[in-house]
Amino acid sequence: MLKSNLPFVDVMRGLAILGVFLFHVLGTSFGFDQLKWDGLFRDWNAPLSFLVLYPFTYGSYGVAIFFVVSGFCIHLSHVRSNESGWSGFFLRRFFRIYPPYLLAVATFFFLWPWGAWHIESGERLKQLASHVLSVHNLNEGTFFGINPSFWSIGIELQLYLIYPALVLLSQRFGWKPSLVVTFICEVLIRLIDAHLLTSEKQHLPMLIAGSPFAYWFSWSLGAYIAQEAISNSRARWLSRIPFPLVAGGALLAPLARPSAPFSFLIAALATGIAFEHLLSGRWHIQGSIASRLLSRHLTFLGMVSYSFYLIHQPILIKFWQLLTRAHPSSAVSPLTSFVLCSALYPFILTVAYLGYRWIERPSIHVGARLRKCFQGQDLSPSNSNTPHDQSP
**What is the predicted pLDDT for the residue at 131?**
98
User: Which amino acid makes up residue 146?
Assistant: I
Q: What is the pTM of this model?
A: 0.94
Give whole-number Cα distances, 313 to 55, 176, 213, in Å: 19, 37, 26
Residue 215: name the closest of 190, 242, 241, 245 by CA.
Answer: 190
In-domain check, residue 391: no
Reply yes or no: is the peptide bond before residue 113 cis, omega within 30 of 0.
yes
Q: Is there a domain that residue 36 lies in?
A: no
For 272-292, what is each residue's pLDDT tens digit? 999 999 998 888 876 666 678
Chain centre to alpha carbon of residue 90: 19
- 293-326 pLDDT, tens digit per residue, is 888 999 999 999 999 999 999 999 999 999 988 7
Q: Is 143 left (phi over 0), alpha (psi -120 to 50) or beta?
A: alpha
Instruction: Please check whether residue 318 lies inside any domain of the structure.
Output: yes
DSSP 77-145: HHHHHT-SSSHHHHHHHHHHHHHHHHHHHHHHHHSTTT--S---SHHHHHHHHHHHTT-GGGSHHHHTS
Supply the range of the domain harboring residue 277.
7-31+43-383
Rounded to whole angstroms, the Cα distance separating 382 from 354 reads 19
pLDDT attached to residue 383: 42
Q: Is the dihedral angle over the CA atoms 283, 288, 294, 295 positive or is it negative?
A: positive
pLDDT score, position 118: 86
Number of domains in the chain: 1
Alpha carbon separation from 320 to 50, 110, 114, 130, 335 (Å, rounded):
17, 20, 13, 27, 12
- 3-class secondary structure, 38: strand
- Rounded to an integer, what distance in angstroms lies between the CA atom of residue 320 and that of residue 119? 25
Alpha helices in 200-262 (DSSP H): 206-209, 216-230, 236-240, 243-252
**Which residues in the chain land under pLDDT 70?**
1-5, 235, 286-290, 329-330, 375-392
Backbone CA torsion sign across 321, 327, 333, 335? negative
| pLDDT score, position 232 | 79
The one-character DSSP state at 360 is I
d(CA 323, CA 340): 9
Instruction: Tell me the HSE value of 24 on the side-chain side, using a 13 A CA sphere.
Output: 26
The answer to whether residue 207 sits within a structural domain is: yes
Establish if 388 belongs to a structural domain: no
pLDDT on residue 287: 66
**Which of 124, 235, 246, 123 is closest to 175 using CA atoms?**
235
Assigned domain for 2 exists: no
SS3 7: helix
**Residue 371 belongs to a domain:** yes
Q: Examine residue 1 and state whether it is found in any structural domain, yes or no.
A: no
For residue 282, the model assigns a pLDDT of: 86
